[in-house]
A and B are shown apart, each in its own frame.
Chain A
Amino acid sequence: MRDQPKPVLRARGIDKFFAGAIALDKVDLTLYPGEVHALLGENGAGKSTLIKSLTGAYHRDGGTIELDGTEINPRGPVESQKHGIGTVYQEVNLLENMSVSDNLFLGWQPVKRGMLDHRQMHRRTREILKGYGLDIDPTQLLSSYSIAIQQVVAIARAVELSGKVLILDEPTASLDREEIELVFSVVRNLTARGMAVVFITHFLDQVFEISDRATVLRNGCVVGTRKLSDVSQGDIVELMLGHHLEATKRKASHASPGDTILSLKGYGKRGMIAPFDLELRKGEVVGLAGLLGSGRTETCKVIFGVVSADHGRAELRGQPIRLNSPRIALEKRFGLCPEDRKTDGIVGDLSVRENIILSLQARQGWTRPLKRSRINQIVDEYVKALDIRLASPNMPIRLLSGGNQQKALLARWLATEPDILILDEPTRGIDVGAHAEIISLIERLREQGMALIVASSEMEELVAYSSRVLVLRDRRQVRELGGEEITTERIVKSISQGESAA
């Protein structure tokens, strides 16, 4: 690259129109062998559209693509894979109800005498995944592993199938630090072998950690391609947004929280989360920290009644209650923004408007529909307050970007005026701008006296807004940190040492 080698992929003047409007406007992208090229931009800037147009998942409306100097016109991911361009999308696109090795080898299974050679398939799966530091049983269903492991399997599959260009669309969104390291070392390995990697992410730290160059998109246009050694994070953010962003800092004032609203004693569910105690007071944020699979999500689910607890007692404002369904939780003014936005959160084909009022309407019952004017008022209010960017509240929510979907889900629960709001990974997979907005929203809600439980894998974030942090490990609570103790170092230490509960 330094000596201007021949580009492996050169896309020129890529155009893409949606419903007659311009989504990509003459976008150029050049990839050199052995480089990691970050593709940056806010949600809705056109990153995914560009990728899909390159791989033929979308039919592009203009422009040329050259691979190794020859023009190619892939008509879909399979064809582009044959050319040597592999893609791993933001959401894992594998078959959860098939085994790990089936997923890895689907479409190119080893065959022996006309029959699938399962033994060879399993053996090679083991070998390949070992290269990624995974030692898992290839015969198990993919769904029995965490999203993180599924993501790694997806990457492994793409790498095995392609060979020239690997496109990673938000590969690290659902991975914790250790697993990110794993992916990065794999990426470095691949670039050392001369592969070009396109890296799409919202984490600027990671961009600077691994990438050589970055192309920044805004509103479907390329606003610049930079060598990362020449620029700072601030420069890139300014390119993306046009204005500088404040770094999130821990708010000093976590002044005296109010009365206890929810009290859980010895609360737990066999096989999901060991019994734990929790005192939740008005006007405080309880952070849940821990690695993936440590029990953060399970804690949220048990409290919200998605699964009913089989141990312990719950008291709401001193009154014993049984929380065994989301419906009851909704009635008691709880709210939950789930971790997996796509499968547990949004109702994709319903409009943004309907998604926002869904829970409020569910609580009112179907016989008492919300008045049109009230719906409009609620939707307008939250679209404005949370800065949800959309063309119209009537558009299906699935068309919104991740950050805006998350904001709409927050709006859904805020519309029910909850006393207790549980947020499971509220900032996963969303862009820098929305990220900061959600964090400041959490602050605001706390100041207004709401009680929040927030699970997150981002330590800095927890440090920023938590009044207390519960540290989880192996599906049990191991430590509660408060006040001055809440620092990234202490949380990391608690997770790794697994101190017994204070």
Chain B
Amino acid sequence: MIGATFRRVLPQLIILCVVLLLNFAVFPGFFHIEFQNGRLFGNLIDVLNRGAPVALLSIGMTLVIATKGIDLSVGAVMAIAGAVAASVVTGGGGWFTALIAALLAGLAAGLWNGVLVAFFRVQPIVATLVLMVAGRGVAQLITEGKIMTFLNEGLIHLGAGTILGIPTPIVIWLAMGTLVTLVVRRTALGMLIEAIGINETASRLAGINSRVLLVTVYLVSGFVAALAGVIVAADIKGADANNAGLWMELDAILAVVIGGNSLLGGRFSIVASLLGALIIQSVNSVILLSGMPPEFNLVIKALIIIVILVIQSPTVKHRLYLLRAKASSTVSDAPDVAPKAQLAKETRS
């Protein structure tokens, strides 16, 4: 199983390494990590730390996309969650209450999306667009349009603190990614989600409760978006309703796509999406470290991402496969060929 996962994410791992080397090329100190002021300090740590919001979002987005859906509201949910957390602590609440309140807000947003999609059969892109637009307004109402700052150490710790020297956001997204991956893979959830993403009609006829599953994936998406929102707010000690999570839904979708997951639903890999999020953050890092004028930022980002996506495209993959097949036909690797030969037989007719 681990071997299969490794093979699945190999392209993403390779791309990540290449982009990291690109970072090294523009800034030789890139891989330097030191322990300073009780925390790990270095560019690589920054990539992991700054990638946290998109990584968290990509966990939920992967599941939503696996069901053939999409969740455009995550950026706005981040803003709401940050605003809720900030207003709880500025109102005198503790950090834990604030965190719980923010997560509940995220779950409520997920429930709203999920019910619209699963019960009212609104197309996911439309259903979540509603919250994408309205959600930021809700967040602005909570913060009254200003950056709501706070000094609650506990809450700030979630974004800017460390656990055993590791920045808290890294711990959070790694833990969340592991947890969700284990839950979907150790239970039957992952398979059932894939089934409804591939063929919902057939899945319903097979007796799968597709509505509950759909609501579940949007709940997960709302939950991780709320976590990301709390982290972003805690990082700057303030809830910035206008800018928190702005356009981050697109980065999350991109992370899922770079992770090699199909936007048409079905088979998914959360690990690959997380690597996708890290790839995006590494690209951002190249841009920041290169010292290029900011006018080039978007162009460079677009170019790198186009290259990544082209490398992953079916056409190129097939070419690479043929190249490898040719190479391996001269070298004998019989144990691998035998099942393939049989498989090919089955595909005929």
A: residues with CB less than 8 A from B are: 17-24, 41-49, 219-220, 304, 306, 326-327, 329-331, 336, 338, 343-350, 354, 358-359, 361-370, 389-392, 395, 399-401, 404, 412
- Complex CA gap A178/B142 in Å reads 69
Q: Could you tell me if A359 and B346 are in contact, using CB atoms closer than 8 angstroms?
A: no
Residues of chain B from 191 to 237 with CB closer than 8 A to chain A in the complex: 191-192, 194-195, 198-199, 201-209, 213
Which of B186, B189, B201, B340 is within 8 Å of A19, CB to CB? B340
Encode contact with A along B240-271: 1 for CB under 8 Å, 0 otherwise.
00000000000000000000000000110000
Nearest CB in chain B to that of A402: its residue:
B349
**Contact between B349 and A354 (Cβ–Cβ < 8 Å)?**
no
**Contact call B194/A48, Cβ cutoff below 8 A:** no
The 7 closest A-B CB pairs, nearest first, are: A330-B207, A21-B344, A18-B344, A21-B341, A391-B342, A391-B343, A46-B348
| B319 cross-chain contacts in A, Cβ below 8 A | none
Check B345 against A361 for contact (C-beta < 8 Å). Answer: no
**B343 x A350 contact (CB < 8 A):** no
- A367 lies within 8 A of B187 (CB): yes
B328 interfacial by beta-carbon distance below 8 Å: yes
Kindly name the residue among B208, B339, B347 whose own CB sees the greatest number of chain A CB atoms within 10 A.
Answer: B347
Q: Which residue of B199, B328, B329, B343 contacts A343 across the interface (Cβ within 8 Å)?
A: B199
Smallest CB gap from A416: residue in B: B207
A48 near B348 (CB under 8 angstroms)? Answer: yes
Minimal beta-carbon separation of A341 from chain B (angstroms): 9
- Supposing A20-B337, A21-B341, A350-B194 touch, asked if A336 and B346 sit within 8 A by C-beta, the answer is no
The answer to whether B186 and A369 have CB atoms under 8 Å apart is: yes
B128 to chain A, nearest CB (A): 23
Q: Which of A19, A42, A336, A412 has the most chain B CB atoms closer than 10 A to its own CB?
A: A19
Residues of chain B within 8 A of A18, CB atoms compared: 343-344, 347-348
Q: What distance in Å separates the Cβ of A60 from its nearest Cβ neighbour in chain B? A: 13
Q: CB < 8 Å: which of A343, A358, A392 contacts B195?
A: A358
16 contacts between A and B (CB under 8 A): A18-B344, A21-B341, A44-B346, A45-B349, A49-B347, A326-B207, A336-B205, A344-B202, A346-B199, A347-B194, A349-B266, A358-B191, A362-B192, A366-B188, A399-B346, A401-B346
* B192, A22: Cβ atoms closer than 8 Å: no
- B130 interface residue per 8 A CB criterion: no
Q: Are A349 and B348 in contact (CB under 8 A)?
A: no
Question: Nearest A residue to B337 by beta-carbon distance?
Answer: A20
CB–CB A362/B349 < 8 A: no
B199: A residues at CB distance < 8 A: 343, 346-348
- Min C-beta distance of A204 to chain B, whole Å: 16
Rounded to whole Å, the gap between the CB of A143 and the closest CB of chain B is 14
Chain A: which residue is nearest B342 at the CB level? A391
A399 pairs with B349, CB closer than 8 A: no
Given contacts A338-B202, A350-B191, A399-B343, list 8 more A-B pairs with CB under 8 A.
A20-B344, A21-B342, A21-B344, A44-B349, A327-B209, A343-B201, A361-B188, A401-B346
Q: Given A44-B345, A349-B198, A395-B346, are A344 and B188 neighbors across the interface (CB < 8 Å)?
A: no
What distance in Å separates the Cβ of A144 from its nearest Cβ neighbour in chain B? 18
Which residues from chain A contact B213 at a C-beta distance below 8 Å? 366
Measured between beta carbons, the chain B residues less than 8 angstroms from A364 are 188
Task: Say whether A358 contacts B349, CB under 8 Å.
Answer: no
Interface residue B288 (Cβ < 8 Å from any Cβ of A): no
Contact B206 A47 (CB under 8 A): no
B73 to chain A, nearest CB (A): 25
Contact, CB under 8 Å: B346 / A390? yes
CA of A466 to CA of B348, assembled, Å: 34
Q: How far is the CA of A401 from the CA of B345 in the complex (A)?
A: 10
Nearest CB of chain B from residue A263's CB, rounded to whole Å: 22
Q: Which residue from chain B places its CB closest to the CB of A24 in the assembled complex?
A: B348
Given the known inter-chain contacts A45-B348, A366-B192, A401-B349, please indicate yes or no for A395 contacting B343, CB distance below 8 A.
yes
Q: A20-B325, A344-B205, A363-B207 are in contact. Are A41 and B349 (CB under 8 A)?
A: yes
Give A348 to B196 CA distance when docked, in angstroms.
11
Contacts of B191 in A (CB 8 A): 350, 354, 358, 361
Shortest CB-to-CB span from A69 to chain B, Å, is 29
- A362 B348 Cβ-Cβ under 8 A: no
Q: How far is the CB of B328 from chain A (nearest CB, A)?
A: 7
Chain A contacts for B192, CB-based, 8 A: 361-362, 366
Residues of B within 8 A of A20 (CB): 325, 328-329, 337, 340-341, 344
How far apart are B100's CB and chain A's nearest CB, in angstroms?
24
Bound complex: CA A219 to CA B341 (Å): 11
Judge whether A359 and B207 touch: CB under 8 Å. Answer: yes
Residue of A nearest to B262 (CB): A349
Which residues of chain A are near B207, meaning CB under 8 Å? 326-327, 329-331, 359, 362-363
Q: Which residues of A contact B343 (CB under 8 A)?
A: 18-19, 21, 391-392, 395, 399
Question: Contact check: which of A23, A343, A399 meets B202 at CB < 8 Å?
Answer: A343
The answer to whether A350 and B198 touch across the interface, beta carbons within 8 angstroms, is: yes
| A46 interface neighbour in B205, B266, B339, B349, Cβ under 8 Å | B349
CB distance from A164 to the nearest CB of B (A): 24
Report the minimum CB–CB distance from A406 to chain B (whole Å): 13
Contacts of A362 in B (CB 8 A): 192, 206-209
A326 to B207 CA separation, bound complex (whole angstroms): 5
Complex contacts, B198 vs chain A, CB 8 Å: 347-350
Inside 8 A of A358's CB, which chain B residues have their CB?
A: 191, 195, 203, 206, 208
A23:B344 contact, CB within 8 angstroms: yes
